[in-house]
Structure 1
Amino acid sequence: HEFEELYDVLEEFGTGAFSVVYSVRSKRCGPRGSERAAKIMNKDTFIDEVQMRRVRDECRALAELRHENVIELFELLESPTKVYLLMELARGGELFDRIVSRGSFSEPQAIRVIRQLLGVLSFMHSRGVIHRDIKPENILLASSEGWDIKVSDFGLVKIIEGIAGSCSGALLENSLNSLPSVGFAATSTCCSSAADLQRTMTFCGSTYYMAPEVAWHFRRLGEGYGSGVDVWAAGIVLYILLSGAPPWDQAHIPQPPTGNGSSGVPNKASGVSFPGDLFGSVSVDARNAIEEMLIVDPKARPTADQMLHHRWLQPEMEPVLLRSGSRLS
């Protein structure tokens, strides 16, 4: 077992439907920089070709998406029964846990987090990658005190276009190429038609953060959805950061317009409210940023890159917030 020969397991970090994550220490390195996060998946859980392809796509996305706000994949190992992803260890834990411990964030803190999140989403989308499961549990913090984030868990990733270039190195590339021999789908993850470059049809994601076009797409067969689902999820994250609560119950996701007005929601409306007890000290610009990201009609919703130019997310906003008396700590 190559993994056991190369790494010592330190402690369990968390479990998912198909994997367990541990902190591990490399036996090949000195004490500095030798700790990694190991995501271990049992091949027995790969019940069909779809699940196999998702694991392969997660590996491919992590290997190729080199960005300071994406968790780094260092190594991919396999045994007859398991697949091991050796990744960067984010010592600050999940953003979710920090929200639970703090209740809500100040506007400058929320700006730091959301600016990074939108930046990495813009980077991913420009390369034809949709995360499809953006939520606080999948946003890690690099340190226990700082605000640098690392987007993780690409288990539901959609690779719409081939990712240009290869930054993964020969060892990792060889490991990826070997996966079809142990039961992974060998077909390309790239889409072939012009329509495929814009839309995907899979019903997936976490309900609280699910965009209307995903939750309701089965009523609009043939339309699918695009990268705007990640922007919607980022808007939900921002709402929670500033209030400590989700904008609505998971059973009441707004319905996107159908073109005949049957949804009852104008194309540019978000349908989100800002209760005074939660948003009384939150600036108008912050509320507007949330409204923009939570526009129900995906055709009217801004892209991640467009949101990065929103007034509230500009560096000069902090002194404005100080003068206005918005909540800062």
Structure 2
Amino acid sequence: MAESSDATAAVTAAPTVLDELLEITAQSLVRTEVAEHYEVIRELGRGKYGHVVLVTHRQRGTPMALKLLPKASTKLHTFLYEYCVALSLATHPAIISMFGIAIESSQYYGFLYEPALHKDLISIIKPRDGIPEPAAKQCAKQLVSALEFIHSRGLVYRDVKPENVLLFDPECRRIKLTDFGLTRPKGTKLKLVAGVIPYTAPELSNTTDAQGVPIDTSLDAWAFGVLLFCLLTGYFPWEQSLPDDPFFEDFMLWQETGLEENLPRHWKRLTAEAALMLRSLLALDPAKRGPVGGALRYVDCPWRLEDGCSEGAAVKP
């Protein structure tokens, strides 16, 4: 009963804690040009909203990753929110560590965190092959721990995908989640504002509610299931979680019947245990969807058959 009360308190407190941290950070934002204190070594990554560069501190020589978001296309509140969420979660070993430094230059907002020099998970997924099963299980265990930690803080991560899993060694013994721009408190009402992608849960893909859908941790369970499928096969289970996608239509039939004869053809390289694990994480009804931690029940079972079919939309770095 105490654990349940603590979890409820965390969900209730999440928006208040973030608001307080936002206010404090806005007052202590360091105004400086990047070149004054940091030497840019090379670019580590680039996304839709900004880019990340490897820098060293000019006096101390400390290597750091610096995420830069253009002021021309980024609201100050948006930047501060992402930074504060990341800062509030950074104590977990499978979440990126922060240096606690947020800056504003003439052109950018930025913050500094530990650099991951082995790139991200998408860089090692071989199309139509995936990654070695031991590495996939290492990823699963660490991601479950990170996501459960985020959920315990009353938050939903909302951006589980290989690009947001940073590698600190090639065998995935040490990985970390990054990029918290989409993270929101549980219960926040959200509408689908972008196109449907493989990681989009069906309750968001098909929503017509103008008020939006109250989000919960089942969204992360769905995306986590899709990510595990990609790690084990090297391709997406479908391109869109919509009935008019033939791969998703086949999956819906199997989910409804549970019959082995209805298992989609491109799932046949998975063991029965792996299929059961994913069937739970990818339950069509979010109320029946298993939690991310359910994957841990299967880590001692084999997940992949070596002679299965390889047919689907390949995951490309």
Q: Is the 8 A contact 2:45 2:52 kept in 1?
A: yes
Structure 2 residue identity aligned to 1:76: A
After TM superposition, give the deviation of residue 12 of structure 1 in Å: 1.2
Q: Which residue of 2 aligns with 1:40?
A: 68
Whole-Å separation in 2 of the counterparts to 1:62 and 1:296: 30
What are the Cα deviations for residues 88-110 of structure 1, in whole angstroms up to 9, with x where unaligned?
11111110010037932233321
Equivalent residues in 2 for 1:23-172 (5 A)?
A: 23-30=54-61, 34-46=62-74, 51-65=75-89, 66-74=91-99, 75-100=101-126, 103-158=129-184, 160=185
Q: Which residue of 1 aligns with 2:35?
A: 4
What are the Cα deviations for residues 38-71 of structure 1, in whole angstroms up to 9, with x where unaligned?
111111112xxxx543322211111110211111
After TM superposition, give the deviation of residue 131 of structure 1 in Å: 1.5
Whole-Å separation in 1 of the counterparts to 2:304 and 2:140: 21
Q: Which residue of 1 aligns with 2:315?
A: none
Q: Which structure 2 segments of 5+ residues have no match?
A: 1-31, 246-251, 307-317
Aligned residues: 265
Q: Which residue of 2 aligns with 1:201?
A: 190
What are the Cα deviations for residues 245-292 of structure 1, in whole angstroms up to 9, with x where unaligned?
11112263699xxxxxxxx8798779994436x643x32111111111
What are the Cα deviations for residues 216-260 of structure 1, in whole angstroms up to 9, with x where unaligned?
2225856433121111101000011111111112263699xxxxx
Q: Which residue of 1 aligns with 2:272?
A: 284
Q: Which residue of 1 aligns with 2:3?
A: none
Structure 2 residue identity aligned to 1:73: M
After TM superposition, give the deviation of residue 303 of structure 1 in Å: 1.9
Structure 2 residue identity aligned to 1:63: L
Q: Percent identity?
A: 28
Instruction: Identify the match of residue 228 of structure 2 among 225, 229, 238.
Output: 238
SS at match of 1:231: helix
SS at match of 2:287: coil
SS at match of 1:237: helix
RMSD over aligned Cα, in angstroms? 3.1
Structure 2 residue identity aligned to 1:201: L
SS at match of 1:96: helix
Whole-Å separation in 2 of the counterparts to 1:238 and 1:55: 30
Equivalent residues in 2 for 1:192-231 (5 A)?
A: 197-203=186-192, 207-219=197-209, 223-231=213-221
Whole-Å separation in 1 of the counterparts to 2:209 and 2:304: 45
Structure 1 residue identity aligned to 2:84: R
Change (3 A) 1:247 1:267: closer
216-225 vs 67-76, which moves further: 216-225
SS at match of 1:39: strand
Change (3 A) 1:302 1:268: farther
Q: Which structure 1 segments of 5+ residues have no match?
A: 161-196, 256-263
Q: Is the 8 A contact 2:254 2:264 kept in 1?
A: no
SS at match of 2:80: helix
TM-score of the superposition, structure 1-length normalised?
0.71
Change (3 A) 1:265 1:275: closer
Whole-Å separation in 2 of the counterparts to 1:274 and 1:80: 53
Q: Is the 8 A contact 1:270 1:296 kept in 2?
A: no
Q: Is the 8 A contact 1:95 1:137 kept in 2?
A: yes
Q: Is the 8 A contact 1:107 1:326 kept in 2?
A: no
SS at match of 2:189: coil
Whole-Å separation in 2 of the counterparts to 1:132 and 1:225: 9
Q: Which residue of 2 aligns with 1:193?
A: none
SS at match of 1:118: helix
Whole-Å separation in 2 of the counterparts to 1:308 and 1:126: 17
Q: Which residue of 1 aligns with 2:48?
A: 17
Change (3 A) 1:155 1:253: farther
TM-score of the superposition, structure 2-length normalised?
0.74
What are the Cα deviations for residues 192-215 of structure 1, in whole angstroms up to 9, with x where unaligned?
xxxxx5343242577121111221
